[in-house]
Amino acid sequence: MDEQMFCFQCEQTAGCSGCTKNVGVCGKTANTANLQDKLTGALIGLAKACGNNQKTENTDRIIIEGLFTTVTNVNFNDNTLEEMIEKVHREKERIAPGCVACISRCDNTDDYNMDELWNSDEDICSLKSLILFGIRGMAAYAYHGLVLGYEDSEVNEFFYRALSVISYDLSSDKLLETVLKVGEVNLKCMELLDRANTDAYGTPTPTKVPLTIEKGPFIVISGHDLKDLELLLKQTEDKGINIYTHGEMLPAHGYPELKKYIHLKGNFGTAWQNQQKEFDNIKGPVLFTTNCLMPVKESYSDRVFTTEVVSYPEMVHIGEDKDFTPVINKALELGGYEEDKKLTGINGGEYVTTGFAHGTVLSVADKVIDGVKAGKISHFFLVGGCDGARVGRNYYTDFVKQTPKDSIILTLACGKYRFNDLDLEDIEGLPRIMDMGQCNDAYSAIKVATALAEAFQCEVNQLPLSMVLSWYEQKAVCILLTLLYLGIKDIYLGPTLPAFISPNVLKVLLDNYNISPITTPEEDLKKILNK
């Protein structure tokens, strides 16, 4: 290819077609993008080497960690990417030493050249991209499960199969089967992570979370890794340092075993894409545990820390020992704000509420069902997904504002920041906006939907339930594939359709699942409610 880089895995890719210049829209350089391709190619080689050779006790973790490293907004550090590539190569040499020394090379376990994928037939490229981006997202969930000591052999084995498929010459029909298999296995993976989180930290309960930052030293923790938050809370006990969540860490406030720490005070700022503005000269350090990191600005570059697979050049990285002393010392050095700093949500609200996971919602299922039967609840809307900076994402705010006053809004992932500070009142004591958690907590939404379908003795597609989803990166891709695997239809998707979905593949999705690109809140609500 003539371009310096090629990447179209996120929603904000240049021109809605692909980033092909020196720097991608997300901020990663061409060299970083190419190293991520090399890492993916190395993972494919490792996966194929395990086809006829016994993997080690470390192979699964290396596969999962490597895939997670290539998710958008995770790793901007060429050095750590090169180290990860070498780790993959060393693992392959341990598993299949004969391949390295083989004179009559078959090339079967060689690193895959990703240019072969990007330059392949349009439909083949589209379907293989759905597989690849789907398992990248699923790897993030599997990684969080591993951190808590939970894994599933079927989930782990599928990564090898899916990676290998990318290098095979298969028909569109066969590839489509694997696409839907990604959705099936991801459901199992999300179930695994749900169990890991609730076993470790209890069933989330509805919790009102303030947006005001109290005076004095504080640390902001961002991302998805609840274990990192727990460790930070333990290490900051009795040190006079308050802890605030950011982005997808917000749902942590709903878990009983985390909310018991009295210095877990509230949430800092709004959606991840606003961090460069909201972190400008921030008076405390910020710890990134997973993705959603943006290129770091000079005004706060001395107070950004990373851990796990997140890496950024020249930022202090907290290693496997999980010693957060550098973060703690920086918080004490900066001292925090001299007076309470009142922040608000995007719409001016002073607090947000979280903790409406499936355990909580289903505990009041009788009340919900009675509300529907009595005509007090007319419709359920699942409005959530990945947020981003592209113009037009205010659609989701306007959509929620215009929903009928007798409808319930289920939400999850960072897309909720568009409207989660709105006061939409309640219906018979049930709040109209229910935050179900992180993106992986789409499992909660699925559990609630299937439970309602059973209660009303109908299919999910027959419920007064509509899904209006936003997407940005690869975790949203695997969730969408799970919904398709479950046969859920009439999903509204935006703000744009994925660049990696070819016209023919799009036609398949439209014909079989009636996926609709969003238009305007007014038009879409009219279609939904008059159906």
* Whether CATH 3.40.50.2030 fits 356-529: yes
Chain segment 394-403, per-residue pLDDT in tens: 999 999 999 9
| Cβ-proximal residues to 248 (8 Å cutoff; 6+ apart), any chain | 222, 223, 224, 272, 290, 292, 413, 414, 438, 439
pLDDT tens for the 531 residues of the chain, in order = 456 999 999 999 999 999 999 999 999 999 999 999 999 999 999 999 999 899 999 999 999 999 999 999 999 999 999 999 999 999 999 998 876 666 555 677 899 999 999 999 999 999 999 999 999 999 999 999 999 999 999 999 999 999 999 999 999 999 999 999 999 999 999 999 999 999 999 999 999 999 999 999 999 999 999 999 999 999 999 999 999 999 999 999 999 999 999 999 999 999 999 999 999 999 999 999 999 999 999 999 999 999 999 999 999 999 999 999 999 999 999 999 999 999 999 999 999 999 999 999 999 999 999 999 999 999 999 999 999 988 889 999 999 999 999 999 999 999 999 999 999 999 999 999 999 999 989 999 999 999 999 999 999 999 999 999 999 999 999 999 999 999 999 999 999 999 999 999 999 999 999 999 999 999 999 999 986
CA atoms within 13 A on the CB side of 7: 33
Position 1 scores a pLDDT of 43
As given in the structure block, the two tokens for residue 4 are 């310096």
Bridge partners (DSSP) of residue 494 are 470
b or e along 216-243 (b: 16 or more beta carbons within 10 Å of the residue's beta carbon)? bbbbbbbbbbbbbbbbbbebbeeeebbb
As given in the structure block, the two tokens for residue 369 are 């069902």
Chain segment 466-520, per-residue pLDDT in tens: 999 999 999 999 999 999 999 999 999 999 999 999 999 999 999 999 999 999 9
* Whether CATH 3.40.50.2030 fits 207-342: yes
Domain ranges of the chain: 29-200, 207-342, 356-529
- Report whether 216 contacts 182 (CB < 8 A): no
- Report whether 209 contacts 250 (CB < 8 A): yes
How many residues does this entry show for the chain? 531
Report the largest interatomic distance among the alpha carbons of the chain, rounded to a whole angstrom: 76
Chain segment 53-80, per-residue pLDDT in tens: 999 999 999 999 999 999 999 999 999 9
Q: Is 317 helix (H, G, I), strand (E, B) or coil?
A: strand
- The yes-or-no answer to whether 29-200 and 207-342 have a common fold is no
**CA–CA gap between residue 205 and residue 103 (Å, rounded):** 61
Residue with tokens 């009595």: 374
Position 106 scores a pLDDT of 61
Residue 375 — left, alpha, or beta (φ > 0 → left; ψ -120 to 50 → alpha)?
A: left
As given in the structure block, the two tokens for residue 462 are 């027959």
Element (H, E) at 219: strand 218-222
Domain 29-200 has what CATH class?
Answer: mainly alpha
